[in-house]
Amino acid sequence: MRIAPLLLTLLLTTPALAQAPRTVTYEQALRLAAGRAPSVIAARARARAVAAQEDVARAGYLPSLTLGANGNLGFAQIPQRVGAMGADVVSFSFLSLAGDSALNGRLNLYDFGRTANAVRAAELGSEASRQDARAALRQSLLGASVAYFTALADREVLSNIRATVAQREAHLRIAQGLVGAGTRPPIEALRAELNLEAARLDLTVAEANARGDLAGLAAALGLEPTELLEVVPVEDPPAEDDDPIDAAERALRERPELSAARIRAVQAEVQAETARAGRLPTLSATASASLRYTTVLNGQGTPGPTTQISGGLAFTWPLFDPTVRANVVSADANAVAARASAEQVSLTVRAEATQAAIAVQAARSARDQSLRLAAAAAANLEQAAGRYAQGATGLLELVDAQAADASARISVVRARVNLLLARARMEAATGALEARAR
């Protein structure tokens, strides 16, 4: 009876049968973030909602028609004078049932640009919302890039720490051999063992960090955080397009935040023109048709249909409306604020692009220095290990060389990832990151 549960446990815990991780390249990660990130989906939905307001504004060009109908039951008593000289008064009464229907239409003929400005403002608002969606995409792609390169750094750090563990295991065997031969005191084997355990502890911590960062990457890509992922190494970016002046110019051309701010500044100007047009008259055509049908239920009356058709022109001019002036003042102030906001966004995107390009240059220099340092540390460790194996030096020199080599290799990993991150931030700052997700 216990065999089945035991087999199930073995199946679930056997590594070979565990869920295989999903391999994701950097470009695939960007495409996933572009298509699945909730923030991007929400921004695109908001853009569609704003675009629908264009049709609302264009409705001002079209006629409006309203249809109404009602029914009523009526009773009337009408006195009338009859006889010679109207000396006698007789009352006539009747009970009737009537139904009314009316169709009213109105068409705006001329309103001094109010409708045209409303349409233009709606179109500008729609375009600004589309740029907002691009800005949300840029933020999502940048977040995915940071998460991806963080996970990639964890992968490289784990590889280096595992190499350190293998190194120290080999050095422990050497120390044990020297102690067994009587050429070294037993304390050196103990120190080598402690050094190995410290590296194994670093490996345990790094593995936990890697699992947590992979869960964060999955969430950034719109995937379940429990989904297993595996990142693929990325080559170092070439030394190109990192001139600060050029980066600032590209940001002015490509950043969606700046495009949205400039569009909203134009939109505010159009809305100010609409507010000023509120002082001017409007001309519209009106038409109406009604039908009434009466049925006399009791007494005397005039049954049958009654129709009426009318049409005309309506001219309205707000000679005194205190809200018009307030609307003009408010719209003009909003236009000034929108222009200032666009200028501020321009300064911000140029500063971000300039700083990002400088960061790329600094990260590339740090990467080159870390590579030189790592090469020197590796050579020093090789010499120290050889001298220690020959009994020409003590364990302290070997431990120092091990620590320097491990630190230098980790520095190379961090410097390379910092360069990738700096490059991704520069691409985001100049509006180039979006093209990678296509």
Rounded Cα distance between 315 and 240, Å, is 65
Rounded Cα distance between 281 and 266, Å, is 25
Rounded Cα distance between 408 and 404, Å, is 6
Backbone angles phi, psi at 436, to 5 degrees: -70, -25
Report the range of poorest mean pLDDT among 7-11, 185-189, 336-340: 7-11
- Paired strand residues for 96: 74, 296
Amino acid at 432: A
Given this model, what pLDDT does residue 362 score? 93
Q: What is the mean pLDDT of the chain?
A: 86
- Confidence category of residue 167, pLDDT binned at 50, 70, 90: confident
Task: Look at residue 391 and tell me whether its pLDDT is greater than 60.
Answer: yes
| Model-wide pTM > 0.85 | no
C-beta separation of 414 from 367 below 8 A = no
What torsion, rounded to 10 degrees, do the Cα atoms 168, 170, 171, 176 define? 120
Task: Identify which of 107-121, 186-200, 355-369 has the greatest average pLDDT.
Answer: 355-369
Given this model, what pLDDT does residue 15 score? 44
Provide, rounded to the nearest whole percent, the portion of the chain with pLDDT above 70: 88
Task: Look at residue 342 and tell me whether its pLDDT is greater than 80.
Answer: yes
Closest CA to 152 of 113, 222, 210: 210
Residues 257-269: pLDDT tens digits? 999 999 999 999 9
Report the range of poorest mean pLDDT among 99-103, 201-205, 206-210: 99-103
Given this model, what pLDDT does residue 80 score? 60
Residues 345-360: pLDDT tens digits? 999 999 999 999 999 9
Question: What are the structural domains, with CATH classification, of the chain?
Answer: 19-62+111-280+321-436 (1.20.1600.10), 68-109+282-316 (no CATH)
Residues 219-242: pLDDT tens digits? 999 999 999 999 999 887 776 667
- Confidence category of residue 140, pLDDT binned at 50, 70, 90: very high
E strand residue ranges, 263-303: 282-299
Rounded Cα distance between 270 and 273, Å, is 5
- Mean pLDDT, rounded, for 201-218: 94
- Confidence category of residue 298, pLDDT binned at 50, 70, 90: low
Rounded Cα distance between 211 and 225, Å, is 10
CA-to-CA dists, residue 335 to 121, 295, 326, angstroms? 12, 62, 14
Task: Look at residue 89 and tell me whether its pLDDT is greater than 80.
Answer: no
Give the three-class secondary structure for 23. Answer: strand
- Confidence category of residue 78, pLDDT binned at 50, 70, 90: low
CA 220 to chain centroid: 11
Task: Look at residue 113 and tell me whether its pLDDT is greater than 90.
Answer: no
Task: Look at residue 437 and tell me whether its pLDDT is greater than 90.
Answer: no
Rounded Cα distance between 336 and 344, Å, is 12
Given this model, what pLDDT does residue 82 score? 56
| Contacts for 432 with CB less than 8 Å, ≥ 6 apart | 250, 254
CA-to-CA dists, residue 150 to 29, 208, 224, 256, 304, angstroms? 13, 13, 18, 26, 85
Rounded Cα distance between 114 and 125, Å, is 16
Amino acid at 92: F
Given this model, what pLDDT does residue 11 score? 40
Task: Look at residue 217 and tell me whether its pLDDT is greater than 90.
Answer: yes
- Mean pLDDT, rounded, for 69-92: 62
What torsion, rounded to 10 degrees, do the Cα atoms 164, 169, 171, 177 define? 180
* Selected residue with higher pLDDT from 231 and 392: 231
Rounded Cα distance between 435 and 104, Å, is 53
What's the Rg (C-alpha) of the chain?
A: 41
- Confidence category of residue 9, pLDDT binned at 50, 70, 90: very low
Closest CA to 111 of 151, 57, 191: 57
Rounded Cα distance between 158 and 207, Å, is 7
- Confidence category of residue 112, pLDDT binned at 50, 70, 90: confident
